Each structure stands twice: as C-alpha cells, then as structure tokens.
Structure 1
Amino acid sequence: MTDVRTVVEQYLAVWNETDADKRRALVADVFTEDARYTDPLGDVTGHDGIDRFVAGAQAQFGGLAFSLPAEPDAHHHLARFHWHLGTPGAEPVAIGFDVVELADGKIAKVHGFLDKLPG
C-alpha cells in the first residue's frame, strides 16, 4: 500500500502552495490526470479544474495554511483524514474531513466534507 501519510501531506502541500507553477506541478504529482474533487463548495475534474479550485480557495483564505491534526486512517485504496485551516498555534478558522481514493499511488477522487467554516 502507498504511504498514505505522505500522500496526504502532499495533498495538503497542494493547498498550501501559492506559487502557481509550483502548485500546478504538485497537482500533477499528487493527482491522477482524471482525478475528481468534490466538496460542498465545488465539483471539479482533472488537473486544470483542481488547480483552479485550489487557487480560488487561496484567494479567499490568503495567509492561512492547511494542516493535518491527526494521523490518516486507511485501508485498501481509501484514506480518510481531518484537516485544519488557520494560522499555526491559533484556533482553526475551518475544519474539514476528506476521504480520498487512491490509484497507483496518486489521488483519483476526493470526497470533502466541511465541519466548520468561518462566520
């Protein structure tokens, strides 16, 4: 099985990378070409769609970072994990829970859930 923690950390690195070229390269490294990302705020497919979605979130939450508050849980080709969005050391402004489907060591699908959103 793929090292799930590494994949999840790379996934969060995509969300935290603000340099467009570097982020795009990370998207290609982390996601399959036809990957699908779905959460309550969006449903996108492919590297272009995922990159645009992440860029939009970064524009909305500039200066904040995603972090992994606990170890991911995984079996077979699935992993689930919580994430926090905020300033290190402060109360997170957003909290979510994602389930990812893996294929050949990359993320093929993300099913995102939002537990806490700002105001």
Structure 2
Amino acid sequence: MSSFDDLAQRYIDAWNESDPTVRRAAVDALFSADASYVDPLAVAQSPEAIAATIAAVQGQFPGFVFRLLGPVDAHHDQARFRWELGPANEEAPIVGFDVVVTDGAGRIQKVMGFLDKVPAAA
C-alpha cells in the first residue's frame, strides 16, 4: 500500500469515527495545523472545524458509512480518490471524490471535495 493509499484510508476512517475524542485525535494526526476543507456544502478552516464538520455529517446521516471507491490517484504532494456514503451493505445514495494536498510531511493541508451523486430533495 502506498503512503497515499494509507492516507486516503485514514481519512475515510476519520470520517467514520463516531467517538468525538478519538475522531479529534485522528483529525489532529491526519491534518496540518493550517488545514482547510471545502466542498459544495461546507467550509472548514482548521482541524477543529474539520472535526466539527465530520460530526455534523454524521448527525445528518446517522448509520451511514464512508467507503473508498477504486484506486487512489496521486502524484507529488496531491491525491484524488472517490468515496461513497451510505448504509452498510447497501447501495450508497451519495458518491463523490476528494482532492487532497499534503504539506510535504504527509499531513493533509487542503481538501477540495466534490459531489457526483446526491439524493433528490423530497
């Protein structure tokens, strides 16, 4: 497994961590102190804000889990990977991909998230 494969899996694991203390420790280990996260629905400008964003997503989609889809594509200090979010062992209603830029020391400095598939509004 490459370092970017490991990084992507640790990232997904952080999004799935339900214990706030463990999640915050995972985010702090994974992200640089000046990290930022942006997707069509959220902007977070620090590890603390990223951990809060993860908690908010978990609150919005209780019982859903993130899963990596396909290989991680990486070069230099950046990577992109697809993921899905849905109930365990069921088709995921949400699919997207993230582009991460690392700080050169293996920690995530920036995440740019994109949504490819989202449920229709009721």
TM-score normalized by the length of structure 2: 0.93
Contiguous gaps of at least 5 residues in structure 1: none
Runs of 4+ that moved beyond 6 A: none
SS in 1 for 2:79: strand
Three-state SS of the structure 1 residue aligned to 2:33 is strand
- Structure 1 match to 2:55: 55
The residue aligned with 1:77 is: 77
How far the C-alpha of 1:86 sits from its partner, in A, is: 1.1
The alignment covers a number of residue pairs equal to 118
Q: Structure 2 counterpart of 1:118, which letter?
A: P
> In the TM superposition, what is the alpha-carbon distance from 1:69 to its structure 2 partner?
1.4
Q: What is the identity percentage for the equivalent residue pairs of Structure 1 and Structure 2? A: 42
Deviation at 1:27, TM superposition (A): 0.3
Measured on the aligned residues, the alpha-carbon RMSD in Å equals: 1.0
Q: Secondary structure at the match of 1:32?
A: strand
Deviations 1:72-103 (A, max 9, x none): 00000110000011123321110001100011
Query: Structure 1: which amino acid aligns with 2:116?
Result: D
Tell me the equivalent position of 1:36.
36
Which runs of 5 or more structure 2 residues have no equivalent in the other structure? none
Q: Helix, strand or coil: the match of 2:11?
A: helix
Paired residue for 1:97?
Answer: 97
Distance in 2 (CA, whole Å) between partners of 1:25 and 1:118 is 31
Residue 111 of structure 1 is matched in structure 2 by 112
Q: Distance in 1 between matches of 2:34 and 2:54?
A: 16
Give the aligned residue type for 1:71. P
Report the AA paired with residue 74 of structure 2: A
Amino acid aligned to 2:95: I
SS of equivalent to 1:115: strand
**Cross-structure match for 1:13:** 13
CA distance in 1, matches of 2:32, 2:119: 31
